[in-house]
Amino acid sequence: MLAELLIGASFAIASYQDIKDRAVSDIVWVPALIGAAYAIYSAFPDADFALAKLGLIGGIALAFALIGMVGEADAIALAFVAADPSRLSPIVPLVAGAAVAAAHIGYELAKGDARGTKTIPMERFLKEQKWIPKAVVADGARHEVSSDVNVARDEVEAMGLPGAMVEAKYGVPEVAYLGAGYILFLAYLLATNASAFLSVH
């Protein structure tokens, strides 16, 4: 139970930061790191399954982050979902997170924010962290930015072009989806078999 609580605490804080700022500070993951280490330590000498799923999911997440398909915090969150000692992880938390994502993205589509690429004023882009830039349009010229989501925003901010327009797409709070899925998973474990859940070391 200790490992799950530590991982869950990190996810709760990270989810809040992701929704608010679309950025998660590295220090937030310290409890999850301790929880993951404790889960693997507690599983020895039968930690093969835990290490295999953490290595597989963590490796996939790292590869996606390195090629810029997901943010670094998204990759870290995905790895920590796999670090849970339960054999139902990461499948059940990911399914729960996907359900939360579908509901939220459906809402944003209905509002119009998540539909394709939008051209917004630079001032709005800088104020709202939810946008992933594709290009900057200034003085009739279009300047492409990196497709790597980890550096694209920094590139736009470094251009320093007040009055420019930014072509951007809506950036979903993936860490928050994963966090919600993980917390729902913990609630499910507690509701369905509290004694077994509470006995996990």
Q: What is the pLDDT of residue 81?
A: 94
82 and 90 in contact (C-beta within 8 Å)?
Answer: yes
pTM for the whole thing? 0.86
Burial 25-52, CB ≥16 within 10 A → b, else e: eeebbebbebbbebbbeebeeeeeebee
Q: pLDDT means per 10 residues in the chain (201 residues)?
A: 91 96 93 93 82 91 91 94 88 96 94 87 92 93 91 90 92 95 92 68 47
Distance CA 31, CA 9 (A): 7
Which pLDDT score is estimated for 186? 92
Query: CA triplet 82, 87, 92: central angle to 5 degrees?
Result: 65
Q: pLDDT tens digit string along 133-187?
A: 999 999 889 999 999 888 999 999 998 788 899 999 999 999 999 999 999 999 9
Domain boundaries, the chain: 2-110+173-199, 117-170
pLDDT for position 201? 47
pLDDT at 140: 87
* DSSP 8-state code for residue 165: E
Whole-number pLDDT of residue 87: 84
- Residues 6 or more apart whose CB falls under 8 angstroms from that of 181 comprise 81, 93, 94, 95, 96, 97, 98, 99, 100
**Dist. CA 186–CA 165, nearest whole Å:** 44
Confidence (pLDDT) at 197: 60
